Amino acid sequence: MRLALHTLCLLFLFSSCKTPEARRPVSIKSGSFINESINRNKELAAREEARIQKIINEDSTHTYITSETGFWYFYTKKDTVSTITPQFGDIVTFDYNVKDLGGTVIYSQQELNTITYRIDKEELFLGLREGLKLMKQGEMVTFLFPSYQAYGYYGDDNKIGTNIPLIAEVTLNTITKESTTEN
Q: pLDDT by residue (tens digit) across 112-135?
A: 999 999 999 999 999 999 999 999
pLDDT digits over 130-164, tens only? Answer: 999 999 999 999 999 999 999 998 999 999 999 99
Rounded to whole angstroms, how far apart are CA atoms 45 and 42?
5
Which residue spans within 101-150 are E strands per DSSP? 105-107, 115-118, 140-145
Q: What is the residue extent of each domain of the chain?
A: 82-176
- pLDDT at res. 139: 98
Which residue spans within 28-108 are E strands per DSSP? 65-66, 72-77, 91-100, 105-107
Rounded to whole angstroms, how far apart are CA atoms 92 and 86?
7
pLDDT digits over 23-60, tens only? Answer: 666 666 667 888 888 899 999 999 999 999 999 999 99
pTM for the full model? 0.80
Decide which of 3.40.1710.10, 3.10.50.40, 1.10.760.10, 2.40.290.10 is the CATH code for 82-176: 3.10.50.40
